[in-house]
Amino acid sequence: MTVVVVQPPYTTATCEIVQDEDWLDPLPRFLEGDEPSDLTDVTIEIFIRPVYDHSVLIKKLSTEDGTIVIDDAAGGLASIYVERETVISDIPIGKWDHFCVQSEPFGTLAGGFLRRERFRGPLIVHPGRVAS
């Protein structure tokens, strides 16, 4: 498998959620210049870590597990959908870093992929009203 990694430019995105609610957020539109990216056959992953380059992974969201949904492939639109129970159990209250990686088939080589970071920024998880 050949993997080509493309570095920034990327978008900075701050996200704030409440720990005891479903996490429903649109992602920044995926663009190529001024035009929407075609998200057909694309995998989108968001990694949540204590800080960007930390080895500990708090949570990974992905189109593969349904926590990220492609809303309009031709329009470059996707969104996050994480159920309340998963937010409560998997994403602790606090300030974390999150970053989004887009992977897609690349070139004519079998198994070739283009991976690029699309956005990053702080993820703030506020306490909710979870009864103990």
**Residue 57: band (very low, low, confident or very high) from pLDDT cuts 50, 70, 90:** very high
pLDDT digits (tens, 9 = 90+) for 79-109: 999 999 999 999 999 999 999 999 988 765 5
Q: Is the pLDDT of residue 16 over 50?
A: yes
Answer yes or no: is 51 within a domain: yes
The total domain count for the chain is 1
In terms of DSSP H, where are the helices of the chain?
A: 84-90
pLDDT of residue 26: 94
Answer yes or no: is 132 within a domain: no
HSE of 12 in the Cβ direction (CA atoms, 13 Å)? Answer: 1
pLDDT of residue 81: 97
**Residue 19: band (very low, low, confident or very high) from pLDDT cuts 50, 70, 90:** very high
Answer yes or no: is 49 within a domain: yes
| Residue labelled with tokens 């492939």 | 73
Answer yes or no: is 131 within a domain: no
Report yes or no: 47 and 57 within 8 Å, Cβ to Cβ: yes
